[in-house]
Structure 1
Amino acid sequence: MIEDFRLRSVAAAAYGPAVLFGLSEGALLPVIALSALERGATTSTAALIAAMLGVGSLAANIPAGVLATRVGERRSMLLAAAVLVAGVLICLVDVGRGPWPLLLYGSGVVLIGAAAAVYSLARQSYLSEVVPPHMRARALSTLGGSMRIGVFLGPFAGAAAMRFAGLPGAYYVSLAAIAAAAALVLRVPDLAVPTDARAAAPVVTTRGMLKQQRRVYATLGVGILLLSAIRQTRQTVVPLWAAHIGLSPTTGSIIYGVAGAVDALTFYPAGKVMDRYGRRWVAVPATLVLGTSFLMMPFAGGAALLTVAAMVMGFGNGIGSGIVMTLGADVAPPAGRPTHLGIWNELADIGTGVGPLILSAATALAGLGAGIAASGLVGFAAAGALWKWIPRRE
């Protein structure tokens, strides 16, 4: 009976690997640009190589849906682990300085981004099927929160390893975490998922899904794109504004870490609210709080006020944990769910690319404070779109 379902029944299969995947990714994020610089990249080239994570994710979202449909979520996750290991090993290869070493390194970063996309879709699709609808938001919020906890811990683990092994230490931590995640997936079999309906349903192509769900993608999908845009921008504005007001990199990093801790601690209550009262009760406040935090930041002239703004930002992002995955599962058709989720994640990733571009363009035109404020308005636009287009509870 679905009334007897408990989240702990999927903890080992879903959340344990999620923490480890997140830790693997978190260990790498701070060192990708540094490794590129070490191989002779300019600052702009290093930033471009770091952006290759997003390129890999964009390229893999839709194929990930096809893969999960054909081989299943568990095998997709194991394949993601193998691709991530390959990407990290390529990044560890140091063949000197120059264009070709940078190209090789960039290809490894692309593979890491692609692996993350495949893993994310596999876990999202799995939980969307095995968790009853009345607990879906809690399950997916916990999944998102588990990943965030891993990403939060990853830089600390990487920093500890780098004290003994230099920059490669972060990559060793990533390899160890992904190996542990794969071992956990191998040892803990997936729960039985009803497959009769999936087997009997006609195969839905990506083009067919786009046609079938075009209204959803053009309405609610736009809200998800805007939400993803401001979420991605928040990772940039704290260190940028900290540097702008003359704070040291160490102080900026501490403030960013405090915001990350607030973010990681608020995911489960949000999922419970969504399940009990509806998705709007979290999606709209989350985007409004995010937008407000951006508008607060230009008024922060020192570390104390910036910390407050960053904590508000972390709270807004944290309470929205899992909202993109939850809404994607809510509007997924019974046939072709992984294909739909691949397209859904593609919309979210497009937003992650658009957000920093809005910040960059507005900053170039009117300065950093105006750029941050303009990015905050994206949050209010997301709130309006989500309020209008999130399906109402029956």
Structure 2
Amino acid sequence: MSNSSAPFQLRQAALPVYLPTLLFTAGEAAFIPIVPVIAQNVGANLATAGLVAGMLTLGIVIGDIPSGWIIARIGERMAMLWSTLIALIGGGLALAATNPFILGLGIFFIGLATSAFALARHAFLTTFVPFEYRARALSTLGGMFRAGAVMGPFLSAAVLAVTHTPLAAFWIMVIFTLGTGAVLLFMPDPEKTFGRAERMRDSTGHQVTSGELEVEQETIGLFSTIKKNWRVLARLGGASALVMALRSGRTVIFPLWAVSIGIKDSDTALIIGLATAIDFLLFFSSGQIMDKWGRLASIVPSMMVMSSALFVLSVSHDVSTNVFWFVATAFLFAVGNGIGSGILLTLASDLADKRNPAPFLGAWRFITDSGAALAPMGIAAITAALSLALASAITGVAGLVGVIMMLIYVPRFLPRNK
């Protein structure tokens, strides 16, 4: 936290955090729906295209491990700048790719950058935003992330409709990432805007800000924290990993499905953009549901709806109205995801030690991100061995397993009187 005597105003965070988040997220969201098309253009079959698309989440989960330590050493702003550089390298590799391996490597780099960027912006807010404003600041950050996720596919749809070039989606990503870097590079010194950041020493004697210390604690001793909390992480963490597997599976299954039934790439981006907009419009309802009726009232319907969407999708491939069912299930999945927004962060906050939550939150994020990373690989393997329809159905079954686990373990670990 900073020690400025001037009153804090939320708009002070617009330039250093909110605008970069909007730009970075929009750039990433622009190419995600188009990855299978680009992968097929460089020689991938449907299963390999799914694996290439999954490199993003794999990069995120690998990036979770060192990011906190790196941020504590170079600072929040420099970490975000380096993240934009790594993302640009990834975008350049994707644009120059002549085979699925290089394309996947580029997307993996973007995933690494995404992990570090997300953690650094969280650390920045922790350092410079007073505690009494922090919930509003983080809520606004979440809104910027969702707005970027909506903006990206719509931009991609418009540009692809004009250029008819799938790689244009990566050019959008590169341009927006350059914009992110420019904002971070030329913005005023944060300590002049917010006041001098208070510093303390971490366990190695290195001077860090409060935000840097928090994210460092999330990643230092990650595996010992997992071992210490294995009971709850294996049960509720495992159930939450299945939630993330469902969400991650959507970003692979729906674009692959669109390719397999012959939907144009610009139309795919438009449909996914509309679905993301539905998700965005519903995310406020999730918190109200949780506060009024409890955690299960949000997560169980959310997972049931998402799983149902995948089941319906799995039997619609060869029907004459398959495009209609693609759109309907994409929108239905978005409804389910929207009413479950924020549930995993809420569960993590409920379960973490209030005196020192960072290590548990880091372990929780690693477990749930692992679920997100493994899902595309499983989908690719099932698609290669069996079919995309069965991959969709099996992902839906995984969601139902998650529902059962939530029904068993939420009451056990989070009784109402806790």
2:60 aligned residue = 57
1:348 aligned residue = 368
The 2-side partners of 1:19 and 1:271 are apart by: 22
1:113 aligns with 2:111: yes
The answer on whether the counterparts of 2:36 and 2:259 sit within 8 Å (CA) in structure 1 is no
Change (3 A) 1:30 1:47: same
Deviation for aligned residue 1:70? 3.7
1:171 aligned residue = 170
Indicate the SS of the match to 1:151: helix
Change (3 A) 1:108 1:358: closer
1:233 aligns with 2:249: yes
- 1:287-310: CA deviation from partner (whole Å, max 9, x where unpaired): 232223334445655354554433
The 2-side partners of 1:365 and 1:105 are apart by: 23
The answer on whether the counterparts of 2:153 and 2:269 sit within 8 Å (CA) in structure 1 is no
Deviation for aligned residue 1:318? 1.7
1:152 aligns with 2:150: yes
The answer on whether the counterparts of 1:66 and 1:338 sit within 8 Å (CA) in structure 2 is no
Q: How many residues align?
A: 384
Deviation for aligned residue 1:341? 4.2
Change (3 A) 1:281 1:197: farther
The answer on whether the counterparts of 1:359 and 1:371 sit within 8 Å (CA) in structure 2 is yes
Structure 1, 304-313 or 56-65: larger mean CA deviation: 304-313
Change (3 A) 1:238 1:36: closer
1:76 aligns with 2:72: no
**Equivalent residue for 2:310, pick from 294, 300, 306:** 294
The 2-side partners of 1:72 and 1:352 are apart by: 27
The answer on whether the counterparts of 1:140 and 1:325 sit within 8 Å (CA) in structure 2 is no
> How does the TM-score come out when normalised to structure 2?
0.73
Change (3 A) 1:5 1:170: same
> How does the TM-score come out when normalised to structure 1?
0.76
Deviation for aligned residue 1:155? 3.3
The 1-side partners of 2:256 and 2:184 are apart by: 39
Percent identity (aligned): 30
**Equivalent residue for 2:121, pick from 109, 114, 123:** 123
2:300 aligned residue = 284
The 1-side partners of 2:72 and 2:184 are apart by: 18
Gaps of 5+ in 1: none
The answer on whether the counterparts of 2:94 and 2:106 sit within 8 Å (CA) in structure 1 is yes
Indicate the SS of the match to 1:266: helix
Gaps of 5+ in 2: 1-6, 203-207
Change (3 A) 1:149 1:298: same
The answer on whether the counterparts of 2:278 and 2:338 sit within 8 Å (CA) in structure 1 is yes
**Equivalent residue for 2:69, pick from 55, 66, 70:** 66
Deviation for aligned residue 1:21? 1.2
2:235 aligned residue = 219
Change (3 A) 1:103 1:359: closer
Change (3 A) 1:35 1:348: same
2:3 aligned residue = none
Deviation for aligned residue 1:150? 1.7
Change (3 A) 1:336 1:154: same
- 1:92-135: CA deviation from partner (whole Å, max 9, x where unpaired): 446xx56xxx6554433221110011122233455577586998
The answer on whether the counterparts of 1:81 and 1:178 sit within 8 Å (CA) in structure 2 is yes
Q: Which amino acid aligns with 1:117?
A: S
2:333 aligned residue = 313
- 1:262-283: CA deviation from partner (whole Å, max 9, x where unpaired): 1122223323544566544433
The 1-side partners of 2:306 and 2:89 are apart by: 36
Structure 1, 331-340 or 115-124: larger mean CA deviation: 331-340
2:92 aligned residue = 89
Indicate the SS of the match to 1:219: helix
